[in-house]
A and B are shown apart, each in its own frame.
Chain A
Amino acid sequence: MSAESRAWGWVAALRAGSTTSWLDWTADPGADPVADAPATGPRLPGAQHLALLLRLNRRAADSGRSLPAGLADRVVAADVTGRGRAELTLTGLDGSGFGPSPVDPDALEAAELLRVASLLLAEDVARQPVAQRSTIERVRSASHRWRQLTQPFVVVGSPWRAGAARADLAGQGHPSGGRRPTAYLLAPDLATLLADAWTVRSFDQGGVTWGAFVKGAAGAGGLPPRADLPRMARSAAQRYDAGKVVIVTDPARLADALGVADVAAPPRLGADAVDLVRRIGDPLGLLVDHERRPSLLHTALVDRLDGRGGPAPTVPPRWSSWLDAQAERARHDLAAAGYPVLGDLDALLPGPQPTEPVRPVDDAVLGLALDLLLDPVAGAAQASGQGRDQGRDQGRDQ
């Protein structure tokens, strides 16, 4: 049996759910009782594709699940995204002697598999319809507009935090808005705010890693705009009048002020979850118009990833003095400006950061990606190959 026949046999077995690694695979093509897929094709899939399929099979077997229909075909036919090596050759096969060295799929790093997985997930996300408000929600919202007359307010701050608070308050019958509103600026501690800013950026633009995000901000000497509280406060003062800006460090005090039981915190996406969003956002930006990317990612992923992905990322120790200095500056600037405070401005100071910083771990990110592929976001069960075109059609409809 030639090495290529052996490889085609392994491909067929993987497509049928095999969990045998490449180095342990010895069966003839078609010899595996579960392998009924075609034993040959125009070219062997890349080692990274086969490694991803193997991981999916193993994860499915471990949890008693099976792969969704069509997923195996999509994996072996998928592209790779981002800069890096093209399809890799399986070790043991006769290559042309050119191109990257052949590899053992089991030895491939998670980052290599994520280049395939994130593209498949981006195709799934592109198929999502953007959530529309139901008629009941619209009627309910309209019926609560009178509150804007008696208690006009807006919630501002990090889009991640303020957006969640606005949605929650609207759900409780307190829609923000109205004439001459009080602007409540949500102000968590700076470490949290920085993680929020990276989260928002990952949804909006994809791209930069947590490490590069922190390094870029610290290297620039200031704070990213979405983590710069004095700047947000000035902006709110210009828009709503300085006397109408209130800093909120204690959300419970805001709830009291508005007469509600509580104000919801934003979804809790851990470092690994946000990193996965970032990776999916990259190829998604080439499937749909960029204006649609944040809402599609929100619709498809926020509920699925809420509470997952480990703890929020933390600032590495080498930047902790920068973080402390920025927090001190923010507290000083807000105090000097004399804004009323619901809570205590000392709460802006970050607590002690862990000596072992929390940052996304590729293997954990891949684990989340495997789960999203095994239990796909709605619409993923459609026939393979439609994602790209459909995503574009949706983009053109905007």
Chain B
Amino acid sequence: MSRRVLLHVGTPKTGTSYLQDVLFQNRPTLLKHGISYPADRFDAHFLAALDLMRLRWGGLEEEAVGAWDALAAQVRAHDGTSIVSHEILATASRAQAERALESLGHRADGSGAEVHLVISVRGLIRQIPAEWQENVKHRASITYARFMEVVRDPERSHRIGAWFWGVQEIPDILDRWGSALPPERIHIVTVPRPGGAPDLLWQRFSTAFGLDGIELERETERSNPSLGVPESALVARINRAAASELSPASYRPLVRELLAHQTLSRRTSSPRLSLPPADLPWVEELTEKWIAELDARGYDVVGDLADLRGTAAISDPWPDPDRPRERQVAAAAVDAIKALLLASAERESEIERLRVELEDARRDVIRARSPRLMRSMEWTVRRMEDSQPGRKALGAYRKARGRASR
């Protein structure tokens, strides 16, 4: 049984994709230090989380049957430290959290594995716009104004509002996940405010997960980059126009990956998404309440709870993604069209290459099945077609055969 389990349950948009990719890439190195990150594919813990919480996710859940139990079995089988990480675990119910902890070896009497809960957090001032953008990158066409309405609805009866608070309300997440654990085994990693040292978040993760001193390859391709205001508005419009006609299997590579991540996220000079100024006082009040509560609970904080206050973006006028500057949206759209054209051209070339390859293979198959006489006749015809007299003779033969066959 794992002696120690580090269970990272969120929150989204706190550098989790990067962390998980570093852990996945460095599994052999980590194992040499007694640390297991049990995953045979990069999204193994995501599938396990879907299974644990019985969540549907655009068909991906079909690959998730039994994934949590399989992951938990690997954790229990490892003699050392195991890490489990996925940000959507933040939304688990109490019953699901209880089942997860038990399956990972936690026992109420202290006889089981030493389970530590890790949660990485960022201030609402940045999380609210980021969550709207995540919705947009997952096919939603909800306006920013409507999103703010459902987020501020105290009943949380809308699906989007329920999900938002499920993965973002830090004290409630820790109520659901941490009620069976002593506070010293609950670690809050705060995301530094903008302007801090670029490596600071990683250093905090490294401290929380006990990775200090281990030489890790940290170059990764997987990340979840953010979009600016006109780019987000463009994707929301694309969703309104086309999302219902695109299957999840097509939407993911074309819109989310090609357009949003690989193309539009590179337009870094456009205005950044931020909280509507009118909502700032509400967010500040809520943040202070959270900081006081988390401070009082005595958790281990890696970083500073004051990071949750964030820094309000100052721009006048406030760039509203529901009313973006159309010239900026048009410029983003041109980039998007260019990317789609290039991808389409590349795909055409690939189809042509495969067509030629298929034709060659078909010819080889026919040749392999043709009798020797047929092959020698083909060889003769090809040789004759290469020379002037040969072509004449062949023409005469075909003419004669044509007459004879009438």
Chain A minimum-CB-distance residue to B174: A98
Chain A minimum-CB-distance residue to B166: A86
Stretch at the interface among A74-82, A149-157, A261-269: A74-82
Q: Is B41 an interface residue (CB 8 A)?
A: no
Stretch at the interface among B124-132, B154-162, B256-264, B274-282: B154-162
Report how many A-B pairs have Cβ atoms within 8 Å.
96
Which residues of the partner chain B approach A290 to less than 8 Å between Cβ atoms? 62, 65
Q: Is A318 an interface residue (CB 8 A)?
A: no
Interface residues of A in 360-392 (CB under 8 A from B): 392
Interface residues of A in 77-101 (CB under 8 A from B): 77-87, 96-101
Interface residues of A in 198-248 (CB under 8 A from B): 205-207, 215-216, 219-220
Which residues of the partner chain A approach B156 to less than 8 Å between Cβ atoms? 85, 100-101
Chain B minimum-CB-distance residue to A207: B56
- The answer for the CA separation of A81 and B166 in the assembled complex, in Å, is 14
Q: Is B165 an interface residue (CB 8 A)?
A: yes
Question: Which 7 residue pairs spanning A and B have beta carbons closest together?
Answer: A86-B93, A99-B172, A98-B172, A290-B62, A98-B171, A216-B244, A220-B245
Question: B54 touches which one: A99, A119, A205, A207 (CB < 8 A)?
Answer: A119
Contact A286–B51 (Cβ < 8 Å) = yes
Which residues of the partner chain B approach A101 to less than 8 Å between Cβ atoms? 154-156
Interface pairs (14), CB distance under 8 Å? A42-B98, A79-B95, A81-B54, A82-B56, A83-B55, A84-B162, A96-B171, A97-B171, A98-B169, A98-B172, A98-B175, A119-B54, A207-B56, A290-B62
Q: Is B329 an interface residue (CB 8 A)?
A: no
**From residue A100, how far is it (CB to closest CB) to chain B in Å?**
5
Q: Is B355 an interface residue (CB 8 A)?
A: no
- The answer for the CA separation of A87 and B95 in the assembled complex, in Å, is 8
B 83-107 to A, binary, CB cutoff 8 A, 1 in contact else 0: 0000000011111101000000000
A 265-289 to B, binary, CB cutoff 8 A, 1 in contact else 0: 0000000000000000011011111
Which residues of the partner chain B approach A109 to less than 8 Å between Cβ atoms? 157
Given A46-B93, A285-B62, 5 new contacts (CB under 8 A): A98-B172, A101-B155, A285-B65, A289-B62, A290-B65
Contact A96–B94 (Cβ < 8 Å) = no
- The answer for the CA separation of A207 and B91 in the assembled complex, in Å, is 20
Contact B91–A86 (Cβ < 8 Å) = yes
- The answer for the CA separation of A101 and B69 in the assembled complex, in Å, is 32
Contact B245–A287 (Cβ < 8 Å) = no
Given A86-B93, A86-B94, A215-B244, A286-B50 contact (CB < 8 Å): yes
Contact B166–A392 (Cβ < 8 Å) = no
Q: Is A178 an interface residue (CB 8 A)?
A: no
Most buried by A among B59, B96, B172: B172
Which residues of the partner chain B approach A286 to less than 8 Å between Cβ atoms? 50-51, 54-56, 61, 64-65
Chain B minimum-CB-distance residue to A292: B65
Which residues of the partner chain B approach A119 to less than 8 Å between Cβ atoms? 54
Of the four ranges (under 10, 10 to 19, 20 to 34, 35 or more), the interface on chain B belongs to 35 or more
Which residues of the partner chain A approach B172 to less than 8 Å between Cβ atoms? 96, 98-99
Which residues of the partner chain A approach B293 to less than 8 Å between Cβ atoms? 97-98
Q: Is B210 an interface residue (CB 8 A)?
A: no
Which residues of the partner chain B approach A42 to less than 8 Å between Cβ atoms? 98
Which residues of the partner chain B approach A282 to less than 8 Å between Cβ atoms? 56
Main secondary structure of the interface of A (DSSP, over half): loop
Q: Is A138 an interface residue (CB 8 A)?
A: no
Contact B245–A219 (Cβ < 8 Å) = yes
Q: Is B193 an interface residue (CB 8 A)?
A: no
Which residues of the partner chain B approach A86 to less than 8 Å between Cβ atoms? 91-94, 96, 166, 176
Chain B minimum-CB-distance residue to A208: B244
Which residues of the partner chain A approach B54 to less than 8 Å between Cβ atoms? 79, 81-82, 119, 283, 286
**From residue A178, how far is it (CB to closest CB) to chain B in Å?**
30
- The answer for the CA separation of A135 and B293 in the assembled complex, in Å, is 68
Q: Is A43 an interface residue (CB 8 A)?
A: yes
Q: Is A395 an interface residue (CB 8 A)?
A: yes
Contact A395–B66 (Cβ < 8 Å) = yes
Contact A77–B65 (Cβ < 8 Å) = no
Which residues of the partner chain A approach B18 to less than 8 Å between Cβ atoms? none
Contact B94–A285 (Cβ < 8 Å) = no
Which residues of the partner chain A approach B62 to less than 8 Å between Cβ atoms? 285, 289-290
**From residue A84, how far is it (CB to closest CB) to chain B in Å?**
5
Contact B65–A43 (Cβ < 8 Å) = no
Which residues of the partner chain A approach B165 to less than 8 Å between Cβ atoms? 99-100
Which residues of the partner chain A approach B166 to less than 8 Å between Cβ atoms? 85-86
- The answer for the CA separation of A312 and B396 in the assembled complex, in Å, is 72
**From residue A19, how far is it (CB to closest CB) to chain B in Å?**
25
Which residues of the partner chain B approach A100 to less than 8 Å between Cβ atoms? 155-156, 162, 165
Which residues of the partner chain B approach A87 to less than 8 Å between Cβ atoms? 93-95
Which residues of the partner chain B approach A219 to less than 8 Å between Cβ atoms? 244-245
Contact B176–A395 (Cβ < 8 Å) = no
Which residues of the partner chain B approach A287 to less than 8 Å between Cβ atoms? 65
**From residue B50, how far is it (CB to closest CB) to chain A in Å?**
7
- The answer for the CA separation of A97 and B163 in the assembled complex, in Å, is 18
Contact A79–B96 (Cβ < 8 Å) = yes
- The answer for the CA separation of A288 and B169 in the assembled complex, in Å, is 32
Chain A minimum-CB-distance residue to B163: A83
Contact A206–B94 (Cβ < 8 Å) = no
Which residues of the partner chain B approach A285 to less than 8 Å between Cβ atoms? 56, 61-62, 65
Contact B51–A83 (Cβ < 8 Å) = no
- The answer for the CA separation of A283 and B69 in the assembled complex, in Å, is 16
Interface residues of B in 32-56 (CB under 8 A from A): 50-51, 54-56
Which residues of the partner chain A approach B154 to less than 8 Å between Cβ atoms? 101
Chain B minimum-CB-distance residue to A282: B56
Which residues of the partner chain B approach A99 to less than 8 Å between Cβ atoms? 165, 169, 172, 175-176
Contact A392–B94 (Cβ < 8 Å) = no
Which residues of the partner chain A approach B95 to less than 8 Å between Cβ atoms? 77-79, 87
Chain B minimum-CB-distance residue to A291: B62
Given A80-B93, A96-B172, A85-B162 contact (CB < 8 Å): yes
**From residue A362, how far is it (CB to closest CB) to chain B in Å?**
13
Contact A288–B56 (Cβ < 8 Å) = no
- The answer for the CA separation of A285 and B56 in the assembled complex, in Å, is 8
Which residues of the partner chain B approach A288 to less than 8 Å between Cβ atoms? 65
- The answer for the CA separation of A282 and B244 in the assembled complex, in Å, is 19
Chain B minimum-CB-distance residue to A44: B94
- The answer for the CA separation of A289 and B69 in the assembled complex, in Å, is 15
**From residue A140, how far is it (CB to closest CB) to chain B in Å?**
36
- The answer for the CA separation of A216 and B244 in the assembled complex, in Å, is 5
Which residues of the partner chain A approach B56 to less than 8 Å between Cβ atoms? 82, 206-207, 282, 285-286
**From residue B47, how far is it (CB to closest CB) to chain A in Å?**
10
**From residue A387, how far is it (CB to closest CB) to chain B in Å?**
12
**From residue A43, how far is it (CB to closest CB) to chain B in Å?**
6
Which residues of the partner chain B approach A79 to less than 8 Å between Cβ atoms? 54, 93, 95-96
